[in-house]
């Protein structure tokens, strides 16, 4: 009985230790994002629509994207080689830093926002398109535990470009379930523009 208890305690201790080592440190990350700031802004709020805002994004999701970019699973020409010399801990720290920042919400295009709101909140049943908020939340804050990203406040230009990349299969790191690829494949350019516009002004 004592041996079993010791074994359980040692296993639990190891699990806690491994979990602790897999956590990012936002303060440490602050000193590691200088190279990121040129495109994504000092606090993760990029000024250019083609570069995503990282502020307020879930740390788990951010870390996965950074790992995928580094490994080549998500090719991004502008980031070629930028992560090569960063360790797993560096990426965790960077993710934690951006997750700790607050996103600056944009202004939604009013001409498109109403149509975009309908897609985001109710989907397009006749095209078998699920409501975006089912995975990304009513206010676009995402679901951190499931690694579903926060979308609210993201540049419309960037969101639209990613949906189009999913649609043509240029971006494939949504996993074997093809969640985003299958949804984007059913969206027209106009629908993508509308939902992207709505998302840019979406907030809690």
Question: DSSP alpha helices (H): ranges in the chain?
Answer: 2-21, 26-30, 34-40, 59-71, 88-99, 110-122, 133-136, 156-168, 179-184, 189-200
Among 78, 99, 120, give the residue marking a domain's end.
Answer: 99
Assign residue 48 the CATH number of its domain.
Answer: 1.10.760.10
Measured at the CA of 34, the angle between CA 33 and CA 39, to 5 degrees, comes to 90
**Does residue 61 sit in the same domain as residue 130?**
no
pLDDT of residue 3: 45
How many domains does the chain divide into?
Answer: 2
Closest CA relative to residue 121, chosen from 138, 107, 135: 138
The tens digit of pLDDT for each residue in 113-160 reads 999 999 999 999 999 999 999 999 999 999 999 999 999 999 999 999
User: What separation, in Å, do the N-terminal and C-terminal C-alpha atoms of the chain show?
Assistant: 52
pLDDT of residue 138: 97
pLDDT of residue 53: 98
**Does residue 115 sit in the same domain as residue 62?**
no
Which portions of the chain are predicted below pLDDT 70?
1-21, 203-204
**Does residue 90 sit in the same domain as residue 133?**
no
**Does residue 84 sit in the same domain as residue 121?**
no
**Does residue 114 sit in the same domain as residue 176?**
yes
Residues 6+ apart with CB under 8 A from 75: 69
**Does residue 115 sit in the same domain as residue 37?**
no
Q: What is the DSSP letter of 85?
A: T
pLDDT of residue 204: 53
Half-sphere exposure of 91 (CA within 13 A, CB side): 20
> Is 105 inside a domain boundary?
no
Tokens 């991004």 appear where? 76
pLDDT of residue 123: 98
- Domain containing residue 87: 21-99
């Amino acid at each position: 009985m004592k041996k079993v208890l010791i074994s359980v305690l040692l296993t639990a201790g190891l699990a806690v230790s491994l979990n602790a080592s897999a956590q990012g440190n936002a303060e440490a990350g602050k000193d590691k994002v200088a190279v990121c700031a040129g495109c994504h802004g000092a606090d993760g709020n990029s000024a250019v629509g083609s570069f995503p805002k990282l502020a307020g994004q879930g740390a788990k999701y951010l870390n996965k994207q950074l790992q995928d970019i580094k490994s080549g699973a998500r090719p991004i020409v502008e980031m070629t080689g930028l992560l090569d010399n960063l360790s797993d801990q560096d990426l965790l720290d960077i993710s934690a830093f951006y997750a700790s920042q607050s996103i600056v919400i944009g202004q939604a295009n009013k001409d498109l926002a109403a149509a975009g709101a309908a897609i985001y909140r109710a989907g397009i049943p006749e095209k078998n398109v699920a409501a975006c908020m089912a995975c990304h939340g009513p206010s676009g804050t995402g679901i951190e535990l499931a690694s579903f990203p926060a979308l609210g406040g993201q540049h419309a230009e960037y969101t639209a470009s990613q949906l189009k990349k999913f649609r043509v299969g240029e971006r494939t790191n949504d996993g074997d379930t093809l969640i985003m690829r299958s949804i984007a494949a059913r969206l027209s350019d106009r629908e993508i523009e509308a939902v992207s516009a709505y998302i840019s002004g979406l907030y809690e």
